[in-house]
Chains A and B, each alone.
Chain A
Amino acid sequence: MKLLASGNEAIAMAALDCAVDLGCGYPGTPSSEILDEFSRMGGRAEWEPNEKCALETAIGVALANGRALVTMKHVGLNVAADPLFTIAYSGTNGGLVIVSADDPGMASSQNEQDNRRYANSAGVPMFEPSDSQECYDFLIEAFKLADRFRSPVLFRVTTRVCHSKCVMDRHGKGLSPRQAEFVKDPTLNVMVPAFARKAHRRLRADLKAMQKWNEEGSFVKEVRNGSELGVVTSGISFQHVLDADPSVSVLKLGMTWPLPVERVKKFAASVKRCIAVEEGDPALGEMLRAAGVPVESPDESFRFGELNVDRVRKLLKNDLTPDPVAAPGKPPQLCPGCPHRASYEALRDLNCIVSGDIGCYTLGVMPPFNAVHCCVCMGASVTVGLGLRKMLPEAEARRVVSVIGDSTFFHTGINGVVEMVYNPPATGHVLVILDNSTTAMTGLQEHPGTGRKLDHSPAPAVSIESVVRGIGIRNVDIVDTTAEPERFRELLKQRLAENSCSVIIARRPCILAMAKAKTYQAKKENN
């Protein structure tokens, strides 16, 4: 069936057509729509507290011979890297595909790390689709590869592939369901050193076999034009190259680890000059040169930001004139009526040093608040704040406050609270949990505290106040900072003056989520 679909929608369709038993992940732009779509079409999907939990649940499904799809944004794979590197050794009987949605240009991210490096580093095969059709076709191929080699597979998409809509054919030639079965085989599934040593050798041998599979497979596409200049490329860059210069010959790789080195060698020999055109790191160029293929990489300036047709034209001509500076436009900001506004006004007015975290509330860095002073990664607010307090002189240490959102608290904030109780700074610490009862930035997804599952049906709610009290925080207050701004200010002043560890939960629902929450409630009552 021909239809117009985004890359994320195409991935969801392919997952359904591959009889995926569980889709799980943590929301993150540009990956968030995949699981919502999969669920909407009837797939079983779950938001988990973080990407590590999601990958581990998926590993369990695949160890029980099922098929699992895990979705996350690029930085999410850092959180899930621990299980990734070891499941690469042991493998699974079932199918395990991990979607890593990278964000070159940082449309909505804190860095532009290039997760193609993970494939090479962990020894996991990787597919890189360049449009919605390939998202659909390659996901099916990824599960076939998983079946054949018992290997987890990385599926790397980027912002433009995820969110661009293209015409595609959902042909439905997927895979039949797998039967649940767990075979007890510790030599395969328990990575103690004696078994892991063998597993590592097995992995390297498998990667050689996968390379052969890639060399012989249909994932390499050659567009033959002139023999003056040849381009080796993958992903969305391929589409830009086609438009940028119709005179160049192009070798487009669909499976980018292990690389089909022999195919590229042959191509490079067929043109006078060969250049790797890639968004992000010069990974392809470096790996091909290391394998002895004479491929150039463009000037360093092209590794920053997204590529597009204009930039690829310049890249091919080695034109290093600066790109035209676009008018800045209106920057994003906290919505009018956003409950975080009142919280940040108080933090600003009390001249706090604020250790921030990842979410809508990172926008507290913008005027008129200017009230986020450092921000690293999910969950870091709590522990970075503790470090600040341990280093700064007392008068300044007393002004340090960590702020974290509700979804981020469940993601990786809880460990920080444990550390806060275990190794408290001399001045104590204050953590403000900005609880707007949703995962707002990525599109209002549910989380363990909302009392609703991914599809918004009722679920047990984990209570933030019970969690922090259970960890050992004695001072726990709940305030609506919009309704009681003075109470919040007084409380904050009081807590900052004490030498104990305190948590203030600033609770008021996101204004965008409130309307939706009412419709979910009405639905629940009608059922």
Chain B
Amino acid sequence: MAVKNIVVAGLGGQGVLKVTDILADALFLCGYDVKKSEVHGMSQRGGSVSSEVRFGDRVASPMVPMGECDILAVLDSTQVEVVQAKLRKGGILITPDDVPKEQLKHPKALNTMILGAIAKHLDVKAEIWDQALASAFPEKLLELNREMFALGKK
């Protein structure tokens, strides 16, 4: 399978890296070659954050080339402008307007809701998502995040 590219962007503290961690984990569990890239440090201090996941039979560079992103998801609409150049023509853009935000039980869980919206476009079995979510969250937060993921995926 040719390499597929996903980019997730947002602001520091929104849980961007959590989304790509779970994504990468789920795709790894599917048996794909997966690479995930991000930048730590300065960018954590409330600034723009983006993280990228590439998967397929064989992935070389961990970074998505310009105009080759298949799915671009943002946790904050202001970030579309920052990362849009990555999206390919005909690629999928997901913003907070595309998920049922009003049903969020906690503002911090927007990231798992967006992850659900990304999951709609991926051929990954429900039990694999379940496994990836379970290893990403402690017991007391798992149920809420499962629910938000399901809402985003609807």
- What is the interface of chain A, defined by CB distance below 8 A to chain B? 3-4, 29-30, 107-108, 131, 159-160, 163-167, 236, 239-240, 242-243, 308-310, 324, 326-335, 360, 363, 441-443
Q: Mark B88-110, 1 if CB is under 8 A from A, else 0.
A: 00000000000000000000000
Q: For the complex, give the distance between the alpha carbons of A485 and B37 in Å.
A: 42
Chain B residues contacting A335 (CB-CB under 8 Å) are 45-46
- The answer on a CB contact under 8 Å between B65 and A166 is no
Q: For the complex, give the distance between the alpha carbons of A243 and B33 in Å.
A: 15
Q: Say yes or no: A332-B42 contact (C-beta < 8 A), given A164-B62, A309-B63.
A: yes
Q: Say yes or no: A4-B25 contact (C-beta < 8 A), given A239-B60, A243-B65, A329-B79.
A: yes
- The answer on a CB contact under 8 Å between B63 and A308 is yes
Within 8 Å by CB of A165, from B35, B41, B65, lies B35
Within 8 Å by CB of B28, from A167, A360, A441, lies A167
Chain B residues contacting A159 (CB-CB under 8 Å) are 39
Q: For the complex, give the distance between the alpha carbons of A159 and B84 in Å.
A: 23
- The answer on a CB contact under 8 Å between A160 and B40 is no
Q: For the complex, give the distance between the alpha carbons of A165 and B28 in Å.
A: 11
- The answer on a CB contact under 8 Å between A163 and B34 is no
Q: For the complex, give the distance between the alpha carbons of A329 and B79 in Å.
A: 7
Q: Does B43 contact A (CB under 8 A)?
A: yes
- The answer on a CB contact under 8 Å between B37 and A164 is yes
Q: Is the interface of A mostly helix, strand, loop or mixed?
A: loop
- The answer on a CB contact under 8 Å between A330 and B34 is no
Of B24, B39, B81, chain A has the most CB atoms within 10 Å of the CB of B39
- The answer on a CB contact under 8 Å between A107 and B82 is no
- The answer on a CB contact under 8 Å between B60 and A329 is no
- The answer on a CB contact under 8 Å between B41 and A107 is yes
B99 vs chain A, min Cβ distance (A): 22
- The answer on a CB contact under 8 Å between A107 and B45 is no
Q: For the complex, give the distance between the alpha carbons of A333 and B45 in Å.
A: 6
- The answer on a CB contact under 8 Å between A333 and B46 is yes
Within 8 Å by CB of A163, from B33, B37, B45, B46, lies B37
Chain A residues contacting B84 (CB-CB under 8 Å) are 327
Within 8 Å by CB of B82, from A30, A167, A310, A326, lies A326
B23 vs chain A, min Cβ distance (A): 11
B83 vs chain A, min Cβ distance (A): 8
Q: Mark B41-58, 1 if CB is under 8 A from A, else 0.
A: 111111110000000000
Q: Does B36 contact A (CB under 8 A)?
A: yes
Chain B residues contacting A160 (CB-CB under 8 Å) are 37, 62-63
Q: Say yes or no: A167-B41 contact (C-beta < 8 A), given A160-B62, A332-B46, A333-B47.
A: no
- The answer on a CB contact under 8 Å between B46 and A330 is yes
Within 8 Å by CB of B38, from A163, A308, A329, lies A163
Q: Does B141 contact A (CB under 8 A)?
A: no
